[in-house]
Structure 1
Amino acid sequence: MGGMSLVAGTIGRLRSAPRIAVLEPIEAGATVLVFLLMSQALLGQLVESEPGSDGPAILRIMWLPVYALGLVWLLARPMPALRSISRAPLMLVLAILCMVSATWSLDPGLSMRRGFAVVMTVLFGFAIASRWDWKQLITLVAITNLILAVGSVLAILAVPSFGIQQEIHVGAWRGLWSEKNTLGAMMSYGMSASLGAAAVMPRRKLFWLGVTALQFGLVIMSTSKTGLLAALL
């Protein structure tokens, strides 16, 4: 009887103990990594693609683990995933329509591949929405844009021929991208994320305001007028 009581007591304590979210940091890191891939940082500079094509095979293969991760998240949390999809079902319908368009496309293979990419990207968006709450998601997006800002500064300082335009718009900063306007656009997006992080994390408000200032400085140095307008708005 004493042994049974000990076992029952141990099980009870284990059930009442707070769960250690071992996977959460890994999932957060994976989310940030996917966001970095979506930013196209470095890819435009390192991998060239021909106009009218769906890009090098390496880029298509690179996204397969991302699609798999999204499906795992959807299947692991089916009810939250269904709730997310139910709030914006037309997004999924339009994505599927992209695949269906292959039936009347002049290049069915290309249309099918791109349609598949659209569907899987939308599903990944639903997976993200069902996995993270607003505060967590804002934080992850802000961290992603912080990494991009710091990476751009390092590229500009360490390898000016890489981070600064040398032919067209000479002297304009482009950071991790192939064109200055992309840096301006990405940093204007980053400013919104950093301001959001400052709002949801009051204790780190000064830090995120400093990040916002850094990103605004990059917008200025990119000489992107559209990026500047977006940042000011």
Structure 2
Amino acid sequence: MSHAADRLEPEPAPPWWEQLGAGLIIALLTGAVIGPVFAPTQAETPILRLIWLPVYAWTIIVVGLRIKKIGSAWPALIALLMLVGLTFVSKYWSIDPATTARRVLAMAMSGIFAVYIGAVFRGPHLPRLLMHTGLLLGVGSLLFVFLLPRIGVHQDVNAGLWRGLWYEKNQMGIVVTACAVAAAACLAADMRRWLIPLGTVGLCTLLVLGT
């Protein structure tokens, strides 16, 4: 009798370097680390813009390598194109067209990356990617809470509450909740690999309680 995990894996997982790159970009897209460290006042700074250039370059590279799979998701690409087009046009009535143009680029690249993730990380590979990424972010958050409390713990309105690698505790709550859901999916898909998913759920629960 085959296990559920065997039925859910129609194709092998992407190579390790692709998983690593995807996980890093997902972590950055959550707003972890770079904002609180490089722009603690939440003001837009040149260094934050520069950080995204290699992210966009990596996205273009992997999309080029996986163009056939991404092409199979053409309905999502059409929807994304329409949304980006509408946002681009909005710069003509925006009070700050330059900022709007940058936001359009950011939305287009993050949207393309989302389509890439959905097309390439199929079956159980997507929740595993999200679980592993969230687990690392959760461990990093704990380190910031106890070793760098000036960043990892709220100092103002919500003084004493954990915010981990993010600006706000709610940001951390959203990310670790999504991570816990992904871990639960991994656990349901393959009960033989229970240690990491169960540990991830426990860590995420602790972080949510800290918020």
Same fold (TM > 0.5): yes
Task: Say whether 1:174 aligns with 2:157.
Answer: no
**Is the alpha carbon distance of 1:218 and 1:50 closer, same or farther for their aligned partners in structure 2, counting shifts above 3 Å?**
closer
CA contact (8 A) 1:99 1:114 kept: no
1:143, distance to aligned residue in structure 2 (A) = 0.5
Task: Say whether 1:26 aligns with 2:17.
Answer: yes
Q: For 2:113 and 2:69, locate their aligned partners in 1 and report how far apart those are by CA, in whole Å.
A: 13
Report the counterpart of residue 81 of structure 1 in structure 2: 70
Q: For 1:183 and 1:124, locate their aligned partners in 2 and report how far apart those are by CA, in whole Å.
A: 22
Structure of larger gyration radius:
1
1:196, distance to aligned residue in structure 2 (A) = 1.6
Give the root-mean-square deviation of aligned CA atoms.
2.3
TM-score by length of 2: 0.84
User: Which segment drifts farther, 64-73 or 212-221?
Assistant: 64-73
Report the counterpart of residue 6 of structure 2 in structure 1: none
Residue in structure 2 matching 1:106, options 67, 74, 95: 95
Trace 1:10-159 onto structure 2 (pairs within 5 A): 24-48=15-39, 55-87=44-76, 89-159=78-148
1:206, distance to aligned residue in structure 2 (A) = 3.7
- Post-superposition CA distance 1:142-201 (Å, at most 9, x none): 111000111111112223333222332222112112222222222212211211221233
AA paired with 1:128?
I
CA contact (8 A) 1:71 1:127 kept: no
**Is the alpha carbon distance of 1:176 and 1:100 closer, same or farther for their aligned partners in structure 2, counting shifts above 3 Å?**
same
Q: For 1:149 and 1:50, locate their aligned partners in 2 and report how far apart those are by CA, in whole Å.
A: 23
1:93, distance to aligned residue in structure 2 (A) = 1.1
Aligned length: 199
Q: For 2:105 and 2:76, locate their aligned partners in 1 and report how far apart those are by CA, in whole Å.
A: 22
Report the counterpart of residue 165 of structure 1 in structure 2: 154
Q: For 2:162 and 2:92, locate their aligned partners in 1 and report how far apart those are by CA, in whole Å.
A: 43
**Is the alpha carbon distance of 1:183 and 1:27 closer, same or farther for their aligned partners in structure 2, counting shifts above 3 Å?**
same
Contiguous gaps of at least 5 residues in structure 2: 1-11
Report the counterpart of residue 197 of structure 2 in structure 1: 208
AA paired with 2:38?
V
AA paired with 1:172?
L
AA paired with 2:204?
Q
Report the counterpart of residue 5 of structure 2 in structure 1: none
Q: Percent of counterpart pairs with the same letter?
A: 31
- Post-superposition CA distance 1:87-106 (Å, at most 9, x none): 45223211222122223333
Report the counterpart of residue 5 of structure 1 in structure 2: none
Q: For 1:93 and 1:196, locate their aligned partners in 2 and report how far apart those are by CA, in whole Å.
A: 32
Structure having the higher helix fraction is 1
